[in-house]
């Protein structure tokens, strides 16, 4: 599997994001259950995107965007269903951490949903700790926010 780095809206990344949205809808019982999150899941040129390719097919992705001088937010992590169970999700996060640290970030934060227990376990296993919900997620009871220090003090 090869990794291709890109920025912002890229057609293969946008397709994986569409599949991610469908998967999230299914996990939480329909799109209306997560409509309030739509405005926070847009993609723009500030995103640093990792595409995971298998024989040229984009099978997984992850990205981060800057929040402050020392903190970036992980966004849009997804693996196609037929490629799950092979450790790709963990590899995505590790690659995002390495790239973010190399680009000067000290912390990564993320938001996930309470129903996404597998994702929560993965993040915990990789060293992410639960924090109070930040920013736009502060008033969202189904959100879980996490953080990890990735760079030097």
Ordered domains of the chain (ranges, CATH): 2-149 (3.40.630.30)
Given this model, what pLDDT does residue 28 score? 56
Q: Using one digit for the tens of pLDDT, what is the confidence trace for 75-91?
A: 999 999 999 999 999 99
Q: Using one digit for the tens of pLDDT, what is the confidence trace for 23-38?
A: 876 665 544 544 555 5
Contact assessment for residue 107 and residue 148, using Cβ atoms and an 8 Å cutoff:
yes
Given this model, what pLDDT does residue 31 score? 43
Given this model, what pLDDT does residue 33 score? 45
The Cα-based distances of 128 to 25, 107, 146, 147 in angstroms read 24, 10, 6, 5
Given this model, what pLDDT does residue 95 score? 98
pTM for the whole thing?
0.89
């Amino acid at each position: 599997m090869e990794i291709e780095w890109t920025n912002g809206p890229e057609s293969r990344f946008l397709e994986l994001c569409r599949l991610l949205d469908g998967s999230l809808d299914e996990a939480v019982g329909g799109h209306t259950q997560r409509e309030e999150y739509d405005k926070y899941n847009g993609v723009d040129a500030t995103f640093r995107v990792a595409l995971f390719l298998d024989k040229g097919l984009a099978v997984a992705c992850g990205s981060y965007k800057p929040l402050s001088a020392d903190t970036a937010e992980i966004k849009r992590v997804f693996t196609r269903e037929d490629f799950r169970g092979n450790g790709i999700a963990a590899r995505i996060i590790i690659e995002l951490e390495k790239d973010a640290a190399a680009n000067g970030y000290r912390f990564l934060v993320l938001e996930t949903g309470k129903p996404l227990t597998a994702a929560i376990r993965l993040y915990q296993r990789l060293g992410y700790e639960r924090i109070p919900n930040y920013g736009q997620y502060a008033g969202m009871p189904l959100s879980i926010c996490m953080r990890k220090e990735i760079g030097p003090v």
